[in-house]
Amino acid sequence: MLAGVCVGVLAVVVVLALPTFRKAVNEFTLPLAYQDVIREQAVDKHLDPALIAGVIYAETKFDPRPSAAGAQGPMQLMPQTAEFLAHRSGATSFTLSDLATPRVNIAYGSYYLRYLLDEYGGKIVPALAAYNAGEANVSRWLERSRRHRLELREIPFPETRAYVSRVLQAQHDYRHSYATQLGYR
């Protein structure tokens, strides 16, 4: 009798603790921050919020310290890319220190994602490859392709192939793990 009660109590504790445990695991393995900014930029730039979160995850895992190459902020924008984006988007003022501000960085990174998706006809693989390896490389790869398409397995840079794969997996994971926070429900 006592064993049955203990099992019942344990079952209730597990059921009650499971959501908290899942949340703790997600925060450790699949962190999410800036969800308000991500949702806002997704709407503004007509992007999937999980794609923005996936890029941030692949770039910094939401820990936006500068890279050795000089990329900055959650979406790891290079200063010259940010300047290009500032001029292209019609920004009236831009300073390099703006990239350290998550709201500004995510706005520019989202603008860049939208630009790349438009450049590559809405195709996500070449857009993400260009985000990582640059448009010149992707243009060269597309020129070499007989079909003028770029599949994940056709990306010649292993680092870029892994990056695109990581973003796509993270996009899927964010869509399912953070549906409410990213505005799907």
Contacts of 67 (CB under 8 A, 6+ apart): 76
Give the whole-angstrom CA distance, residue 170 versus residue 167: 5
Give the whole-angstrom CA distance, residue 46 versus residue 51: 11
H/E segment holding residue 50: helix 49-60
Which token pair is 47?
């992007």
Contacts of 69 (CB under 8 A, 6+ apart): 78
Question: Of residues 27, 59, 143, 151, which has the active-site annotation?
Answer: 59
Active site residue 154: no
- Max distance between CA atoms of the chain, in angstroms, equals 74
Give the whole-angstrom CA distance, residue 51 versus residue 171: 5
Which token pair is 106?
């995510």
Task: Enumerate the active-site residues.
Answer: 59
